[in-house]
Amino acid sequence: VTSRSLQEILLLHGPNLNRLGARDEVHYGQVTLAELVERVRGWAEEAGLGVRAVQSNHEGELIDALQDAAAWARGAIVNAGALTHTSYALHDALLDFGRPAVEVHLSRISEREPWRRVSVLRPACGASFEGEGPEGYRKAVSWLAAEIIERDG
Ligand code: DQA
């Protein structure tokens, strides 16, 4: 068994977010997923947290990632893409994860199409940031860092 001095968090991205930088710049901006992950790593590092990043276009792989993370992660930042609006399976996986989770959306989903305004993941998350682009991830990191300190010291 290796002892981890570094506290780690899961950064989980769902379908189509691998296309950031190329897809729908109006809503999602020009930052690529790789750049976004690097920014999150920087913010997390300042807060004393390491980041393991997973992106998948497949719902089951996202659930597997959360189940796996239960063994090592102190918390999770989740942008599940369109699965946000449909996936009760991911909702249940987040509940089962049992650690603080925060939802982030680059775009302001509450002001887009009616079906996008509902997040079925929201009730399983302790906080939610939307419509601020990468800045929302920075806020998610600081929210999560505070939660982790409160819980784990
Ligand atoms: C998104 C919003 C979702 O509705 C959409 O399906 C995405 C990205 C966002 O970051 O704004 O893929 O989660």
- Residue that the structure tokens 């399976």 belong to: 89
Mutate to test the pocket of ligand 1, among 109, 111, 130 (most ligand atoms within 8 A of CB): 109
pLDDT of residue 1: 47
Q: Which helix (H) or strand (E) holds 140?
A: helix 134-152
pLDDT of residue 5: 59
19 close to ligand 1 (CB < 6 Angstrom) = no
Answering whether pTM is above 0.85, one says yes
Distance 102 CA to ligand 1 centre (A): 15
pLDDT of residue 6: 82
**Ligand 1, atom 6, residue with closest C-alpha:** 82
Q: Which amino acid is at 49?
A: L
Rounded CA-CA distance 104/127 in Å is: 9
128 close to ligand 1 (CB < 6 Angstrom) = no
Give every CB contact of residue 124 below 8 A, 6+ residues apart in sequence: 91, 92, 94, 95, 101
Mean pLDDT of 39-68: 98
Query: Among 17-26, 99-108, 109-118, which stretch is predicted with the lowest mean pLDDT?
Result: 17-26
Give every CB contact of residue 46 below 8 A, 6+ residues apart in sequence: none
